[in-house]
Amino acid sequence: MINKLLKGNAKFVAGEFKPNEKYYRTIAARQSPKVLWIGCSDSRVSEDVITGSRPGTMFVHRNVANIVAFNDVNISSILEYGIVHLKIDDIVVCGHTRCGGIAAIEDGVHENYIADWLCIASGAKVITDEIAQKHKLSREQKLEVLAAENVKLQIKHLQSLALIKNMHEKGSLPRIHGWLYRVETGVIDVLVNGRTGKMTKGLKALES
Ligand SMILES: [Zn+2]
């Protein structure tokens, strides 16, 4: 597999980098990403690939279940650098279907660090349990709703961080978008419109 990656790099250099050398020379001099991406570490949710983006487009933070933690210096420093220094106006929080982290929130998990981490998303399960009961959702539907509710909860966490809160109090930036990527179809559903703040159900499970 490792050799395959290096061969892939040679292919990238020949087929993408060299033909677009001017673009890559520009971003080599200075990065100027337009979007700050907060996504899941899942191997199937590669932000560049699923959005058809070139290197240089997104400043990226990924962790298990795309969580925004209050005491995480990692995400805080990424937000500070991305927003204050790189002047990024748009943040995308992107969850996905068939997420192992989301299934672990639903089922419970006993591994120490994973359990502690997923605790930060437990509020999404409380909301989802109510929705699932009301709409008599199947397990699969419930996991989909939980993935979406987790995106909405992590956006609330983002909006509560002093850095973002202070900026929002002064104006409307940064815009925060909530997305759900469907690993079964490759399609992204918009859950939270970053321009209007409007939340959509965006879920087949709740449309009927
Ligand atoms: Zn995931």
- The Å distance, Cα 66 to ligand 1 centre, comes to 7
**Residues spanned by CATH 3.40.1050.10 within the chain?**
32-207
What is the pTM for the complete model shown? 0.94
- The Å distance, Cα 50 to ligand 1 centre, comes to 15
- The Å distance, Cα 160 to ligand 1 centre, comes to 23
- The Å distance, Cα 36 to ligand 1 centre, comes to 18
Report the C-alpha gap between 80 and 85 in whole angstroms: 7
- The Å distance, Cα 37 to ligand 1 centre, comes to 14
Report the C-alpha gap between 38 and 20 in whole angstroms: 27
Structure confidence at residue 111 (pLDDT): 87
Structure confidence at residue 207 (pLDDT): 63
Structure confidence at residue 200 (pLDDT): 78
- The Å distance, Cα 4 to ligand 1 centre, comes to 25
Residue type, 181: Y
- The Å distance, Cα 96 to ligand 1 centre, comes to 6
* pLDDT < 50: residue spans in the chain: none
Structure confidence at residue 206 (pLDDT): 67
Structure confidence at residue 30 (pLDDT): 96
- The Å distance, Cα 43 to ligand 1 centre, comes to 8
- The Å distance, Cα 134 to ligand 1 centre, comes to 26
According to DSSP, the residues that pair with 92 across neighbouring strands are 37, 177
- The Å distance, Cα 182 to ligand 1 centre, comes to 11
- The Å distance, Cα 207 to ligand 1 centre, comes to 24
- The Å distance, Cα 65 to ligand 1 centre, comes to 5
CATH number of 32-207: 3.40.1050.10
Structure confidence at residue 64 (pLDDT): 97
- The Å distance, Cα 19 to ligand 1 centre, comes to 34
Rg of the chain over all Cα atoms, to the nearest angstrom: 18
CA geometry: angle at 94 spanning 93 and 99, to 5°? 135
- The Å distance, Cα 29 to ligand 1 centre, comes to 33
Condensed to tens digits (0 to 9), the pLDDT of residues 9-59 reads 999 999 999 999 999 999 999 999 999 999 999 999 999 999 999 999 999
- The Å distance, Cα 83 to ligand 1 centre, comes to 25
